[in-house]
Amino acid sequence: MVDNSCYKTHSELLRDERYLLWRLVPEEHLDQYWEEKLFQYPDLCHEMNLADAYLKDILFTKRYIKQENKEQILQEIVRAIEQGEPQRNRKKKAVLLRCKIYGAVACVFVLTGLFLYRVLAPVEPDEQIVINQLEAKEIRLIYSEKTVLYEDNIDIQIDNKGKATIQSDNNPDKIEEIEIADNTLNTLVVPYGRRSKIELPDGTKAWLNSGSILQFPSTFSGDKREVMLSGEMYIEVKKQEVPFVVKTTDFSVKVLGTKFNVSAYEKQQQSVVLVEGSVGVRSDHVEETCMLSPNEIALLDTVSASFRKEKTDALEYISWVKGYIVLHKTPLINVMNYLERYYNVDFEYIETPRIQSMTCDGKLYLSESFDNVMRAIGILTDTEYSKENNSIYIYNK
């Protein structure tokens, strides 16, 4: 396996099995490996973007992928990756590389391609889905009776003296520093179509999904560290003797130091999923506390106002932080609702009665561009889409 200390070009990345496996089938140990590489070599980010674009071009320039054509497509990917490698090294690495890449890419096609095919292929020829692209809204940071607007996704880091450093995802060189007054309650509003990350004064890190609001103090004091959430957040709590509390409209989560995901959108299933450590979840209307162990989920029952606990794969619930979502018999309507928040769009269903009964299985990659998602759907499902003003029409060929 290639073990370059630094990759100078994207073609070198494309010849590294670890990079290919990481991009095709994300796993935690691979995430950690490449995050360390990026930390060591920041300039590598540009070459990764080129390599990603190359892989996406291979994966998403094919028409509807039939089972009998899969082997040919996989061979094309391997040949493309091997181009430029010395002939004497090709034969030696060919068998191992093909086995790994075939397995990885096959997994992607099965999970992503078949998922999209099962979702949209059954639509009748005269049925359409209209996707209205809504006006983009800025992220709002409200502090010390001031409001600052940000057009891009942002990372916020607040030190224990109340100084906040804000960095744009699209322009890492653009860094802003602001002073937050002591003993104030601040608000971070992340609208549809936006995401944000924040590091709180105690070192706790939180990722906010689209359509979320987080209220937090400029400094933590007293017998608890408390924040208030509406929407969805993945959080890694810095361990301290003082408990950390996440409050929502209907329940609260109490921890000392751990990693978990909270989903508290209005009019949707609310839940807490534990990645590691332990948490106590308590409804505002029931005295009993629901204790969670890793890979358990607490689901809020709206009728009894209590939580029911189930076993689950916690990593599937935090995959949105990594840029994809995992679905298991998920109603298509729920997927559409998720995409509405994530991309700030509005779906209209025109003569689509079958959509109400459709469910989805697999992995859906959340591209930065919503057009890329539509393009992937069109290619992988043998459908077409067209734009007219602010609407996108999806229809069968």
User: Which tops the pLDDT comparison, 125 or 131?
Assistant: 131
- Whether pLDDT at 261 is above 90: yes
Sign, CA torsion 275/52/366/342: positive
- Whether pLDDT at 190 is above 60: yes
Give the model's confidence band at 201: pLDDT under 50 very low, under 70 low, under 90 confident, else very high: very high
- Whether pLDDT at 49 is above 60: yes
Tell me, what's the pLDDT at 225?
95
Of all residues in the chain, the percent with pLDDT exceeding 70 is: 67
* 13-31 mean pLDDT: 71
Using DSSP, state whether 39 is helix, strand or coil.
helix
Give the model's confidence band at 329: pLDDT under 50 very low, under 70 low, under 90 confident, else very high: confident
Of all residues in the chain, the percent with pLDDT exceeding 90 is: 33
Domains assigned to the chain: 10-117 (no CATH), 128-134+323-396 (3.55.50.30), 139-317 (2.60.120.1440)
Tell me, what's the pLDDT at 358?
67
Q: What is the pTM of this model?
A: 0.68
Per the listing, tokens 């990603």 go with: 52
- Whether pLDDT at 148 is above 70: yes
* 287-311 mean pLDDT: 90
Instruction: Give the DSSP per-residue string, 139-175.
Output: EEEEETTEEEEESS-EEEEE-TTSEEEEEESS-TT-E
* Backbone angle region of 89, left / alpha / beta, with phi > 0 → left and psi within -120 to 50 → alpha: alpha
**Cα(298)–Cα(273) distance, integer angstroms:** 6
* 380-389 mean pLDDT: 60
Tell me which residue of 365, 337, 375, 318 sits closest to 192, measured CA to CA.
Answer: 337
- Whether pLDDT at 83 is above 60: no
Give the pLDDT confidence of 338-382 residue by residue, as tens digits.
888 998 888 787 666 666 666 766 677 887 777 776 665 555 444
- Whether pLDDT at 168 is above 80: yes
Tell me, what's the pLDDT at 392?
65
Tell me, what's the pLDDT at 380?
44
User: Which tops the pLDDT comparison, 240 or 116?
Assistant: 240
Give the model's confidence band at 317: pLDDT under 50 very low, under 70 low, under 90 confident, else very high: very high
User: Which tops the pLDDT comparison, 99 or 337?
Assistant: 337
